[in-house]
Each structure stands twice: as structure tokens, then as C-alpha cells.
Chain A
Amino acid sequence: EHITKHPLQNRWALWFFKNDKSKTWQDNLQLVTKFDTVEDFWALYSHIQLASKLTSGCDYSLFKDGIEPMWEDNWNKCGGRWLITLAKQQRHTELDRFWLETLLCLIGEMFSDYSDDVCGAVINIRTKGDKIAIWTREAENQDAVIHIGRIYKEHLGLSSKVVIGYQAHADTATKSGSLMKNKFVV
């Protein structure tokens, strides 16, 4: 029998961030590995810690090969993110499921033609509440952004009463907290 791995549309890079205040932000960001098949994705996924087991201040990022998980990257700077903010108790109930669904949406290219607008996804483990976001490349591509948001919300199994927001990185970089404005909501 002829056995081959199942190729993904894109090669993806997993990054790990661990907050060490004695180092610069960039030094704290490490490339873990890259993969481009379904089988290699699962080999990696089963080898690493679940997000809920990471310590506060840590992030995982999964981005298309060639895109760094930071606003400043050329692929990201005009883009933004669909942000899921979780309540503290959701770390034990939904965080890992949400993150896995996010990863599957990315590697499976589940946003049809608009998948090209996806840059990657980030999960932030924080004491005050964890966050998951899908980053897209162009905040002005309204059709793409809205489509991605709707499909994403569906895959997370969020009820229609839950509203999620999309913020442009340019706005996030200059504002903070309650001043952060949603460019779109679904």
C-alpha cells in the first residue's frame, strides 16, 4: 500500500513566547518548528504542552511560514485580529478546545478563498484572562474579514448572542484597554 502524508496548502511555523523580563521581547520569542502536512501537525500538537498548562505570560503563535508573529511584520502591519477574550474559569473548560479549533481552521484553510487573508493565530496565557486571536493581513478587506469572523465564530461553537470584535493592529498599537475600538463585530 502506498502511504503518503497529507500536504497542507501552507507551511506553518509554531512560535513560543515566554515572558522573561531580563530579556528583550524579541529574545523571548522562539521559533519551535515548521510543518506542512496533516500528520506532522498532529505529531507536533501531541508533543507540546496544552495551552492551559502553560504559565502566565506565555504565548503560542502559529503563522504562515515567512510571517513573524508581530505587528511590525510587513504581512501584519495593515491587518488586525479577531479577538476572543476568555474569562478566568474558561481556561479549564474551553481554552484548549478553542485553541485546537483555531489551529484546525488555519491549517485546513477553512475560510475558503479568504484563507489567503489569514496570517496566523496567537494564544496569550494571562492571569487576568486568556486571549485567542486570528490575525488577518488587511483590516480594510471587509468581505474577507467578516467572512473569516463568521466562520471562526461558527467553528468555536459560540452562540449568536456572543459578539466578537475585530481590531486593526494600528489601533491596538496606539490605544489600550477600554479605548480599543472594534472595527467590525460578528
Chain B
Amino acid sequence: GKKQYGREFLLDFQFMPACV
């Protein structure tokens, strides 16, 4: 299926440390 992401889901990643 299509990879659709909501606003809140995307914002949750804003300040996460980058993973390799």
C-alpha cells in the first residue's frame, strides 16, 4: 500500500537522534 504518514507521526521524528 501507499506510504502515507500523518502530521503528528512525522513530527514525532523531528528531534530524534539519527539512526544509522
State the A residues within 8 Å of B (CB): 3-9, 38-39, 41-43, 45-46, 101, 104, 107-110, 112, 115, 155
Contacts and interface: CB of A to CB of B under 8 A. Distances in A.
A41 B6 CA distance: 15
B10 A109 contact: no
A110 B13 CA distance: 17
A109 B13 contact: no
Given A5-B19, A42-B13, A43-B18, A104 B7 contact: yes
Interface string B1-20: 01111110111011010111
A27 B16 CA distance: 36
Contacts of A46: 14
B2 A9 contact: yes
26 contacts: A3-B20, A5-B19, A6-B3, A6-B13, A8-B5, A9-B4, A38-B5, A39-B16, A39-B18, A41-B10, A42-B16, A43-B18, A46-B14, A101-B7, A104-B7, A104-B11, A107-B10, A108-B4, A108-B5, A108-B6, A109-B4, A109-B5, A110-B4, A112-B4, A115-B4, A155-B7
